[in-house]
Chain A
Amino acid sequence: MVEIVIWVSALLLLTQLGLLGYLLLSKARRLKMERTIQHHYSKVLPEFLAYFHGQKEEAPAMSIPLTKKRKIIERVLDKAVDQADMELDMDRIQRTAHQHLSVTYHRHLKKGSWSQRVNALYYIEDFAMLDLKTEVWNHLNRLEQNDEEYRQALRVLAAFNDERMIPYILEQRDLSIGLVKQLLRRMHFDLHEQLIDIMTENEERVPYPLQMALITYCGEVGDRNLIPFVESLLTHVNSEVRLKAMRSLTEYRYISDPVLLFNFFHSPYWEERMYAARLTGILTLSQYKEELITLAGDEQWWVRYAACHAVKRLPDGEKLLNFTSREHKDLYARDMAKRTLTLKAGG
């Protein structure tokens, strides 16, 4: 018995010592590598930035081993694109990325670890490496799990305005609204138009999350040509669609005819009453002040909140709120009006 215990403990102790040795070695290697990369990075960064700004004609030469070179170039390019400097020559950034990173990313997408593949996809998008578009498309079709790798592959293709994305996302019923909006934000306007045309012609063809994302995205992007499309959805049978259209209009800060809002003040859905109040405030539609004061006493806290905030935005808002806080027949309306009067905007 004692002998077994001694053997087991010796084995476990060795495991721990081995673990410690491994950790120390890998940490020492990592720290050394980081120091080297940082050293070269600070040396070449100004030269590369000068090249990207067109102050130098030739790209800086780098005589550094390949693995370190990749990391340094990634950091340099990342720094450059993060600066969001309009004077940067994007062609030169793309050329540099292509020259130093394309082969590695191609290999990573085919044989790399999960982290390597996802990092490659992030940088392919950031550095606009269009030469890898086909690789990314093929990679997307190989993926079996809908995780971050899948999401990023979609984002890359959307950013590259790959035409194949339209039929592809029309077939995906499980994408989240948030992800679809991320894709829409990356796509060119003509791709949005294609999707809106398809939705107008045959709504059934468009997956529900894509419909929702499209409607709200119209407001986010603020394209006035799309307002008739959004307003036409205010009479849609589905209340979720109507709500998204109202949300979109709050982003537009516009409605062609305020009469379109009238019925929503009396909607059985509190969310619609809330959006009606919010939109009235944003557009300062004084003709609806009576409706707003009525909604200040709504059964739903959020409607009361939106109504009082909307009243505050009207030209004589403070006066109306003071009146509401004193004279409204509903106690909750009076409380909310008082709160709104004391609350600083943005809170």
Chain B
Amino acid sequence: MISDWMTIVVNVTAVIVIVYMVLVALVYISLFMIASPKIRKERELNRQELIEDTSVNTDTFPVSVLVPAFNEDIGIIDTARSMLGLNYPQHEIIVIDDGSKDTTSEKMIQEFNMKEIDLAIRQYFPTQRVKRAFQSEDHANLFLVQKENGGKADALNAGINFSNYPYFSAIDGDSILDKDALLKTMKPIIDSNGEVTATGGTVRIANGSTIKRSKVEKIALAKEPVVIMQIIEYFRAFLIGRLGLSRMNILLIISGAFGVFEKKRVIKAGGYDVSTVGEDMELIVRIHRSIKHEKSNQRIEYIQDPVCWTEAPSTISSLRLQRKRWQRGLAETLWMHKRMMFNPKYKGVGLFSMPYYLLIELLSSIFELVGYVIIVLGLVFSFVSPEVTIVMTVMTVLYGSLLSSLAVLLEEWTYHKFPDLKSLVILFAWALTETFWYRPMVVWWRCEGIIQVLRNKKAVWGNMNRKGISSEGTS
């Protein structure tokens, strides 16, 4: 009797999970259908010509590049060099050392011949105490701000306080920007006469590629399967998810790794929130909110150009920490702005974007975990009908791998960055295996992230055990 009931409960749950996954797959396919026409339309466009005028234009707004750094002594010099090498008419680089315990500041001071300057900082936002500031003797547009530890959001707020220009770009201390990254991301802002208030571009994984003198010279796949899977994930997230949402003007995330913002709008919105680890998403939601409250025509845009290269976690432990932190940030943001959820006042953001991030990006891990448990239990104890087990297995394999394949297609349509056929085959082959090892792992970590939020455990700056991405080649 109990076993009959259990079978019914499990079967019903399984059907719910199947329906859920079909719906999720349909949402992703719809986003693909929305994103792909733009990529197809622009696939042969000469992108160098596109930014040629902007690069020599005196009307190209000056930008402050903010690099928050906490214990980044491995990569900070390369990152700063990459910023100095940006092709942009006028920009300043502000590295904010958020109370690092390592030699981040010492390395900067020594490498760039920095001298202390007196502080006269505006206080748009309160931050932890700024102790000292330095300016490079060799590069007058390079600054270092030393402050007491307060987290990434606090460091960014301090950077905004210190900055001089009307637009700022936030970039992770372990990332490298494409030479034309600022031009490409500022172009929608310039072309729209300021109607675009924030932009972000595609972030790509640098592991495996050859980076010399802070420049990506040769693109190649990493050797570690865990990194290859992240490459596929990034394609999917950026070329399908973000582009699709951006085309509907309901994009809720501009990656913390690289984004450009109108300073005035961010000040109006209140700056970065120091109480969440998802400060990048939280800020965008608040910007949407501020735009809607003002009934402004401003919008947030994403460009599909790969503009930023970042080091992906190459060990299981660091990947786990990253995913838990992302999940926690997502949950916190959605909770903080719960009043926007299903609220018609916020139009697409309230009616589609917020529910999308809640039901698909956040809760999918729980549905998927339940799905995996059913499959395993079904196989081990045979109390689930074999049909349901097969349906669930096949659905999960195809649901993941087809989207991954479509994402690889979009990558090939946009930048066809991989120089050989072998890379495509490898990406396809690993995409097919995702369901059997990578996805269950990530699903579990994401569930851990949700549990962490529910237990209200404090999260801190992520420690990635970085190797640094600039060398003769990283893997």
Contact = CB atoms under 8 A, between A and B. Distances in A.
Question: Do A and B actually bind?
Answer: yes
Interface string A126-159: 1000000000000000000000100100010000
A114 B45 CA distance: 8
Interface in B372-420: 387, 390-391, 394, 397-398, 401-402, 405-406, 408-409, 412, 416, 419-420
Interface string A320-346: 000000000000100110110111111
B103 interface: no
A202 B59 CA distance: 27
Interface string A1-38: 11001001100110110011001101110110000000
A26 B421 CA distance: 10
B2 interface: no
A5 B416 contact: no
Contacts of A332: 120
A20 B424 contact: yes
Interface residues of B, number: 51
Interface in A104-125: 113-116, 118-119, 122-123
A119 B428 contact: no
Interface string B259-288: 000000000000000000000000000000
Contacts of A229: none
Interface string B193-212: 10000000000000000000
B143 interface: yes
Interface in A156-200: 176-179, 181-182
A26 to B, nearest CB: 7
A177 B419 CA distance: 41
A301 interface: yes
A116 B44 CA distance: 7
Given A9-B398, A119-B45, A119-B46, A2 B387 contact: yes
Contact of B135 (A26, A30, A341, A343): A343
Contacts of B394: 5, 8-9
Contacts of B432: 16
Given A24-B424, A27-B416, A114-B41, A179 B191 contact: yes
B110 interface: no
Contact of B42 (A31, A114, A177): A114
Nearest to B398: A12
B101 interface: no
Contact of A5 (B43, B390, B425): B390
A335 B164 CA distance: 16
A12 B120 contact: no
Contacts of A20: 405, 424-425, 428
Interface string A295-313: 0000001001100000000
A27 B118 contact: no
Interface stretch (B50-58, B247-255, B290-298): B50-58
A12 B140 contact: no
Interface in B20-53: 41-46, 49-50, 53
A20 to B, nearest CB: 5
Contact of A23 (B57, B115, B409): B409
A113 B421 contact: no
A65 interface: no
Nearest to A175: B193
Interface in B115-135: 115-120, 122, 135
A291 interface: no
Contact of A342 (B42, B43, B44, B117): B117
A81 to B, nearest CB: 11
Contacts of A2: 387, 390-391
B435 to A, nearest CB: 12
Instruction: Give the interface size bracket for A toward B.
Output: 35 or more
B192 interface: yes
Contacts of B44: 113, 115-116, 119
B97 interface: no
A17 B428 CA distance: 9
A182 B57 contact: yes
A298 B360 CA distance: 51
Contacts of A347: 92, 117, 135, 140-141, 143
Contacts of A341: 118
A271 interface: no
B111 interface: no
- Which of A1, A123, A155 has the largest count of B CB atoms less than 10 A from its CB? A1
A231 interface: no
A339 B119 contact: yes
B387 to A, nearest CB: 5
A148 B192 CA distance: 11
A182 B193 CA distance: 13
27 contacts: A2-B391, A8-B394, A8-B398, A9-B398, A15-B402, A16-B428, A19-B406, A20-B424, A23-B409, A24-B421, A24-B424, A114-B45, A115-B42, A115-B44, A116-B44, A118-B45, A118-B46, A122-B46, A122-B49, A122-B50, A123-B49, A155-B53, A176-B190, A181-B57, A301-B122, A339-B117, A347-B141
Interface of A: 1-2, 5, 8-9, 12-13, 15-16, 19-20, 23-24, 26-28, 30-31, 113-116, 118-119, 122-123, 126, 148, 151, 155, 176-179, 181-182, 209, 220, 301, 304-305, 332, 335-336, 338-339, 341-347
Interface of B: 41-46, 49-50, 53, 57-59, 92, 115-120, 122, 135, 137, 140-141, 143, 164, 190-193, 387, 390-391, 394, 397-398, 401-402, 405-406, 408-409, 412, 416, 419-421, 424-425, 428, 432
Q: Which 10 A-B pairs have the closest CB atoms?
A: A346-B140, A176-B193, A115-B44, A338-B118, A339-B120, A335-B120, A122-B49, A342-B117, A347-B140, A115-B45
